[in-house]
Every structure is written in C-alpha cells, then in structure tokens.
C-alpha cells in the first residue's frame, strides 16, 4: 500500500489530502502538523476551517485511509511520498523583510525529512515557493550519509478558498514539475497516477521543476493583476459616470479577455495574492530585473490605493467627519464562504475608520473570531455582532465588505428604519440592489458607479 504523508494540516494540506484519500481508497494518507489544536480539530466534528463540502469529504475518508496526527517522525518514517504544505509567509525580519518568502518552516521540514528517513522517498513541494527552491531542498536532502534517495517534485496548489472542494474535485489543471532524469520521470508518473484517479489525463500537465514553481507565482500575479486593473478603471468610472459593471461586461465578452476576475471591489485580500506578488518582486530584484519587479509591485500598490480610496470616499460623503459615528461593517472575511480574514481589505478599512474615531460594529457569518484577533488592539471602539440587524441599529452607515449571499436578502427597509438619518450605504462589492436601496431612502455608494443620493 502506498503511504502518503503531508506536513502541514492547513487550508491546503487538509482539504487536498482529504480529496486524495477519498479518490484513492487504496492509498494511506496521513496529515501531520506541529499544532496539536489543529490536529485535534481535524479529528473532531468541528474542523479547523470552514469550507463548503469539506465535512463530507473528511468524514468519508477519515479513519479509513485518512489520518490526522502530530506524530511527524512516524509519518516521515513510513511514507513513500511526502507532500510539504507548510506556510510560506512574507518575511518580517532581516534581509528581504516585507517582500521575500520566509522559508524557515519549509527548510525545517526538509531537514527533518533527511534526519528521520531510512527509505527512499518522493518529496513534493505543495507550498507556494520561490522559483528554484527545489534546488535548495535537494541540496539539503542530498547532504545525508545514509544512502537514502530523495526525488523532489513541484506540485503547486491552485484551489481558492470558499470553493476548495469544488476546485479540488474538478481542477482546471494539475501541475507537476520534475527532473527530466529517469528517476525524476518515474516520480512524476507516480504523482500523475495518484491524481489520475479522478482528474482526466489531459488536465495533468507535466513540466520541468522551475516552470512549475514559477507558474504558481505567475498564476496568482495574473489573477491579482486583473483585479487591480479593473479596480483602477473603477476609479475613473466614478470620476466620469461610466459604470464599471458595464465596462467589465463589455470587455469580458471579448473571448481573448474573458469574463472572470473582473469584479471591481474594495480590494483583493487573502493570504496569498500579496505575498506571492511580493515574492515575485523580490525574485526579480534578485536577478537584477528591476523594471519587471516594478511592474508587478504596482499591482499591490493599486490594491492598497483602492482600499484607502474606499475609506476616503466614506469620509468625504459623510460630511468629512465620522468621529463618534457608529458604522456597521457587513462582512470581515476576505471573500464569501470562508472564515479566513488574512489580508482582508476589511482590516485596513476598519483600522482607517478607527483612526477617524468612528465606532465600529462588525458582523460576519463566519469570520468574527478572526476579526476579534485582527482588531485586538482597537477593541474598546469595536463591537462584534452576529446579527446584521443589530449591527446596523443606530448606525450612520453600513459598509458591505464581503459578498456573503445572505446580505442580498436582508430586509433593508428594517435596517434603514433603525439607522440614523441620513443613512449611508457603501457597497464595497457591488453586491446589492442599489436602485432598491435608493428607493428605500439610503444614500448609496458603490465601486465604479455613480452615487445614488438624496441630496
């Protein structure tokens, strides 16, 4: 029986391995983590992350051929294939701080694999890593004296949060990078076989190691770039009465451009877009490609501009003062269908509003726990409320920051009636029926569209 180990039971490791185990009942999959609380949660009825459909996949395979454990050493010893899916955040210290990837967790894994292993293994980079990391990994793994052979592959993950299970079940593609040597290609074939259990062969792309590593960073950079591009045009729409929805539709019907990822918003968030672009920027700088670095850096700058622009508009429209005013934030997660708030635009929006001495009430169906931690330092001016009606009661403004489906069907007449007048609504996701809200009496501001006001 093939034995797989995954180091890192996070948003990628947990769901990805659960899917592999579900589709390969004859393969034993163990997911380990140094965080005991996380592993306990994976073994309980309350999984550590919220992902639609995840519970069923985990329940089907857990205890059969899917196991969650803190025994990293035993896992390494027994495994034939080891996926490394640990976090690779932006460095916060030393050389490259604020830009380069912090590779300490990844390197610890490589060293531990080397130390514990007594049999040959395929080591798979699942984490997102700078291009040529596999070379460093190989250098560490091949420094041993036990005669154990390691073959390193790159197999980046493209799932998006909130749709992780659907993405894993029907991926656009699976990418596997390996060396062109016979051993390298044998390892690649093993991984192809694993995914081939449910992914059509033509969707499994094989490349050299470096292309695979670089494709992951590039995919995220292109996706984020589209959001920044449409957001940049949203600013021009607001200045000219063009409508960003109409512009997006008009350009998106060009089959060369395509309709996806053209939704203007308060900004992109999530744990990876910013981190991966900055990682790309740092790499380019390292190779002396300053113009290329500058080109991609601008995608991140544009995003910060968009987040700040949103708050600046709130301030300006609310008579240039929001001190002491109650403002309800609808949504704190970085996108709908997740409880994740990492790099959520809501964090910067909340912080800027607090700087203006606003009183904030935050509501979100899944992310309140994380929101509390994100705003721990401003806690005396922030209230957390699970009921959006309560959150909006007595507020001067509602700012919608996450496109939760349930926010569409709220009784906005009831919300309006409970608010201080004139009541403002800022839709940071162009998610609501603006004409209807305006008819109720709200002054409505959205992204890249003309304001609908009553004065």
Size of the site for ligand UGA (CB under 6 A): 20
- Which positions from 85 through 144 interact with ligand UGA, judged by CB under 6 A? 128
**Partner that binds at residue 269, options ligand UGA, ligand NAD, none, CB closer than 5 to 8 Å by kind:** ligand UGA
Position among 85, 88, 155, 220 found at the interface with ligand UGA (CB under 6 A): 220
Nearest-approach distance from CB 268 to ligand NAD, in angstroms: 13
Q: List helix spans (H) across 95-208.
A: 104-116, 133-141, 164-169, 182-196
Q: Is residue 227 a contact point for ligand UGA (CB under 6 A)?
A: yes
* Closest to 122 in 3D by CA, of 178, 84, 82: 82
Residue 322, Ramachandran bin (φ over 0: left; ψ between -120 and 50: alpha; else beta): alpha
Position among 171, 184, 270, 331 found at the interface with ligand UGA (CB under 6 A): 270
What are 332's strand-pairing partners?
none
Q: Is residue 341 a contact point for ligand NAD (CB under 6 A)?
A: no
Position among 66, 153, 187, 272 found at the interface with ligand NAD (CB under 6 A): 272
At 215, phi and psi to the nearest 5?
Answer: -65, -35
309 Cβ contact list (under 8 Å, min separation 6): 235
* Closest to 79 in 3D by CA, of 207, 177, 190: 190
Q: Which stretch binds ligand NAD (CB under 6 A): 29-37, 175-183, 368-376, 381-389?
A: 29-37
Q: Is residue 87 a contact point for ligand NAD (CB under 6 A)?
A: yes
Max CA distance (Å), the chain: 78
Nearest-approach distance from CB 433 to ligand NAD, in angstroms: 31
Position among 4, 5, 10, 123 found at the interface with ligand NAD (CB under 6 A): 10
- CB 340 within 8 Å of CB 162: no
Q: Which stretch binds ligand NAD (CB under 6 A): 104-112, 226-234, 307-315, 326-334?
A: 104-112
Instruction: Return d(Cα 341, Cα 371) in angstroms, integer.
Output: 7
At 408, phi and psi to the nearest 5?
Answer: -70, -30
Catalytic residue among 6, 109, 272, 284: 272
Instruction: Return d(Cα 222, Cα 240) in angstroms, integer.
Output: 27
> Which residue is associated with the tokens 């957001």?
231
Position among 50, 195, 296, 334 found at the interface with ligand UGA (CB under 6 A): 334
Q: Buried b / exposed e across 329-368, counting CB within 10 Å, b at 16+?
A: bbbbbbbbbbbbbbbbbbbbbbbbbbebebbbbbbbbbbb
Nearer to ligand NAD, 7 or 283 (CB): 7
Q: Is residue 104 a contact point for ligand NAD (CB under 6 A)?
A: no
- CB 248 within 8 Å of CB 383: no
Torsion sign (Cα): 106, 111, 117, 121: positive
Active site residue 272: yes
Q: Is residue 451 a contact point for ligand UGA (CB under 6 A)?
A: no
What positions carry a catalytic annotation? 272
Positions in the binding site for ligand UGA (CB under 6 A): 128, 157-161, 220, 223, 227, 261-263, 265, 268-270, 272-273, 334-335
Give residues in contact with ligand NAD (CB under 6 A): 7-13, 32-35, 38, 72, 85-88, 105, 108-109, 127-128, 157, 159, 161, 271-272
């Amino acid at each position: 029986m093939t034995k797989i180990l995954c180091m890192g039971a996070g948003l990628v490791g947990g769901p990805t391995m659960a899917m592999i185990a579900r589709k390969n009942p004859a393969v034993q999959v163990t997911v380990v983590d140094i965080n005991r609380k996380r592993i306990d949660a994976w073994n309980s009825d309350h999984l550590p992350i919220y992902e639609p459909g995840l519970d069923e996949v985990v329940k089907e395979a857990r205890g059969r051929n899917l196991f969650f454990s803190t025994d990293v050493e035993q896992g390494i010893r027994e495994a034939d294939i080891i996926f490394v899916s640990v976090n690779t955040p932006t460095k916060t210290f030393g050389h490259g701080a604020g830009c380069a990837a912090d590779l300490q967790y990844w390197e610890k894994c490589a060293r531990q694999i080397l130390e514990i292993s007594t049999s040959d293994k395929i080591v798979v980079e699942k984490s997102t890593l700078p291009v040529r990391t596999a070379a460093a990994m190989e250098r560490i793994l091949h420094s041993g004296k036990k005669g154990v052979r390691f073959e390193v592959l790159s197999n980046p993950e493209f799932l998006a949060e909130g749709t992780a299970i659907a993405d894993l079940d029907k991926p656009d593609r699976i990418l596997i990078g390996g060396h062109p040597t016979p051993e390298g290609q044998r390892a690649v074939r093993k991984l192809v076989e694993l995914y081939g259990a449910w992914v059509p062969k033509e969707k499994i792309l094989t490349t050299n190691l470096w292309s695979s590593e670089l494709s992951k960073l590039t995919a995220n950079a292109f996706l984020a770039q589209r959001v920044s591009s449409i957001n940049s045009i949203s600013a021009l729409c607001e200045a000219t009465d063009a409508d960003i929805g109409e512009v997006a539709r008009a350009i998106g019907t060009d089959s060369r451009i395509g309709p996806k990822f053209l939704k203007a918003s308060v900004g992109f968030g999530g744990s990876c877009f910013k981190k991966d672009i900055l990682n790309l920027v740092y790499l380019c700088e390292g190779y002396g490609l300053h113009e290329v670095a500058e080109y991609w850096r601008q995608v991140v700058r544009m995003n910060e501009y968009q987040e700040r622009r949103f708050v600046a508009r709130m301030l300006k429209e609310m008579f240039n003062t929001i001190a002491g005013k109650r403002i309800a934030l609808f949504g704190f997660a970085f996108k709908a269908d997740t409880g994740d708030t990492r790099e959520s635009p809501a964090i910067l929006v909340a912080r800027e509003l607090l700087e203006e001495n606003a009183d904030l009430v935050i509501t979100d169906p899944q992310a309140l726990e994380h929101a509390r931690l994100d705003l721990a330092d401003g806690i005396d001016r922030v209230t957390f409320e699970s009921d959006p009606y309560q959150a909006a009661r007595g507020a001067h403004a509602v700012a919608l920051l996450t496109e939760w489906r349930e926010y569409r069907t709220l009784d906005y007449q009831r919300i309006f009636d409970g608010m201080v007048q004139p009541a403002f609504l800022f839709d940071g996701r162009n998610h609501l029926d603006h004409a209807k809200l305006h008819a109720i009496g709200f002054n409505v501001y959205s992204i890249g569209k003309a304001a609908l006001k009553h004065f």
